[in-house]
Amino acid sequence: MTSAGAPRSLGVHLTSHGGELRVWSASAQQLELVLFDPKDPTWVTKTVPLERGDSDVWSVRSRSLKAGTRYAVRATGPDGPTHAFDPSTLLIEPYSKGLVRIAPGQYRSVVVDGTFDWGGVEKPKVPLDTTVIYEAHARGISKLNTSIPEHLRGSYAGIAHPATIGYLKDLGVTSVELLPVHAFTSEQRLVRQGLVNYWGYNTLNFFTPHPPYASKAAQAEGPDAILREFKGMVRLLHEAGIEVILDVVYNHTAEEGRKGPTTSLRGIDNDAYYRQTADGTYIDVTGCGNSVNTAHPAARQLVLDSLKYWANDLQIDGFRFDLAVTLGREANHEFSAGSELINDIITDPALAGVKMIAEPWDVGAGGWQTGHFPRGWSEWNDRYRDRARNFWLSDIDYARRASQAPVGIGGFATRLAGSSNTFSPDRGPLASVNFITAHDGFTLADLVSYDIKHNIGNGESNRDGTDNNRSFNHGAEGPTADVTILETRRKAMRNLLGTLLLSAGIPMITAGDEFGRTQRGNNNAYCHDSELTWLGSPVDGWQRNLFEHSKRLIELRRQNPALRPTRFGRSGEVIPSANQMDWYDASGNTMSGHDWESARNRTLQYVASSTPEFEDFNRILLIIHGVEDGITVTLPRHPGVSRYELLWRSNDETPVMDAVGSAPGDRIEIAPTSMQLFLAVSDDGGGESDESHG
């Protein structure tokens, strides 16, 4: 046992003489295994009692427990405000690896074989500093791809199809982060409205791949085939060098509030698995009706066992934890970065080398914890998102109305350099997962096209979704034929993508942002499984151009280690332990304190020099100009730099570089609200990226 009262080896374990089922419950007075006819999941063939053993583990052995067997658990226990036993309810066994839905709201666990030939394919093990995450929906990523056979679109097999993998490889991302693929269902409220939970943040079971995401053929064959298709997807992505990261929801379940459906944990031991007061009122810090009580050893073990199953049996490379603060709340319901589960996740040997990414907030008291997770965790950096949006969008909007932006470039530069004011020195810039957009909120194209959300189609009278978008429509709400507005919007997208992919930290791109996908102003499209949310492909010329910019930026990030430091430098070091960063103003002079603080100064020249610790020496110059008037800048006379070679600029419609070189001290024109990236070449030719330069 890893924690008192929390045993290993729960669930079904196959043997040569059938199988053994082990279920944990401290409160139950009786547990039964219910077996069903293989052809009729409503027909009970046998009911077998489980025996209580050590550490409140109930077990039973049965020759009927074999691959393909459909089963459920029935529990009887005491009455009382913190209990929810109902012997008339047939429950999903919490560790079941397969599920079948027999009717609305009714499910059966299924025993799976689980064997699979990985063919010697290993995990890509992409280093954190070279990681570029692509957040995508498991169905939506391939649903509209006409290069994929229709019967595979929207499935695990569709993700693994050469057309999908080829697109990801062409773009250059290293890791696909899939929105939830744990088996889930739609909330009762959505069902009554005739809508669905498309995103999947409503988990039924922590061990089963969502069956509807498998191909129709695999669904017809059953849970073993679904599991094989999922593993086959992982294997093919790994063969292509692409990691698979899962967005996981351990903070709450689909059982909703106390009056919600009882499908599993509530009926087995509500007192242990959910946070509640003495009178049985749920303590909801997730906004979803319930909160899993990870202060209890059994709930902690459930989460850890699920993670280890996905990371080892299914070869998953990393996890992004939805509302991760909930997982770190102690028995007093307050968050602690030193909580057992937060620590166990990054120290368990069976999870060594697995990427762990926190969404560092929930909706409870003290729920915003960005920067407060321990070493070993990376975090979604909402401060980065907000500052980047402000600098390129809401500040520009403000300046149009007030003749000057409200703030200068200081805070933006801190985010660009890895958010050292948020993450401690021992964690460094790779603790920050940088993002401009995510599944939740405006797409990149909508961020530059809408001032307000347009969520009427969600059925909540436009009340749902955030109003704090920090967006800017540039003069027209939504679609427009105004050429000037369209050009300005596209440049704003290039600036935002350039910021994301040229910043220190781990960048995350939302699927479709690389070519300007729109959701027509809906910033909370969780309930739409339609062309509104499916990926599509670049069609118009400007979309293809934006894709090429995205591709070029990812390539430049890979080629230039100066853009991706692994640690923050420490003052006074003879040999820097991280990239050396030097900051200059538009005149090429070292930035003064006034330059950092003045709202009038929104122009910056940033020289980053890598250390040859892991890769060859490399140095870049990045120029940022955040005003809607052009400016002439003097290139800095940086020690050892003999020339600057242009690599990319955001004001170009297409990222075609003409290899223009400039000398330190040269004066060059910078377009309004734009960025330029240069390779800084030293006198002896040092500072070269992987590209060849004359």
Hey, which residues are catalytic here?
A: 322, 359
What is the gyration radius of the CA atoms in the chain, in angstroms? 27
As a whole number of angstroms, the distance between CA 202 and CA 185 comes to 6
Question: Across the strands, what pairs with 58?
Answer: 23, 52
Q: Which residues, other chains included, contact 461 with Cβ-Cβ below 8 Å and sequence gap of 6+?
A: none
Three-state secondary-structure class, residue 155? coil
Q: How far apart are CA 121 and CA 399, in angstroms?
A: 54
Q: What gap in Å lies between CA 497 and CA 499, rounded to an integer?
A: 5
In the beta sheet, which residues pair with residue 528?
none
CA 199/CA 2 separation, integer angstroms: 33
Cα→Cα distances 358→249, 328, 440, Å: 11, 11, 15
Q: Which two tokens stand for residue 42?
A: 């409503």
Q: If we measure between CA atoms, which residue out of 650, 447, 564, 594 comes closest to residue 174? A: 564
Spatial CB neighbours of 176, under 8 Å, sequence gap ≥ 6:
133, 134, 136, 141, 159, 168, 237, 242, 243, 244, 245
Can you say whether residue 102 is alpha, beta or left, with left for phi > 0 and alpha for psi between -120 and 50 degrees?
alpha
| 3-class secondary structure per residue, 282-324 | ECCCCCCCCCECCCCHHHHHHHHHHHHHHHHHCCCCEEEECCH
The stretches of 187-296 forming alpha helices (DSSP H) are 188-193, 216-221, 223-239, 265-273
Q: For residues 286 and 654, what is the distance between their CA atoms, to the nearest angstrom?
A: 44
H/E run at residue 580: strand 580-584
| Cβ neighbours of residue 184 closer than 8 Å, sequence gap 6 or more | 197, 200, 201, 202, 203, 204, 210, 249, 254
Q: How far apart are CA 677 and CA 282, in angstroms?
A: 53
Among the listed residues 176, 179, 131, 135, the one whose alpha carbon sits nearest the alpha carbon of residue 507: 131
Total length of the chain: 694
Widest pairwise Cα distance in the chain: 86
How far is the CA of 375 from the CAs of 379, 419, 483, in angstroms?
11, 15, 48
* β-pair partners for 400: none
Distance (Å, rounded) from C-alpha 145 to C-alpha 155?
12
Going by C-alpha positions, the residue among 318, 172, 136 that lies closest to residue 245 is 318
Three-state secondary-structure class, residue 661: strand
Instruction: Report d(CA 199, CA 190) in Å as an integer.
Output: 13
The CA-based dihedral angle spanning residues 460, 462, 463, 466, taken in that order and rounded to the nearest 10 degrees = 130
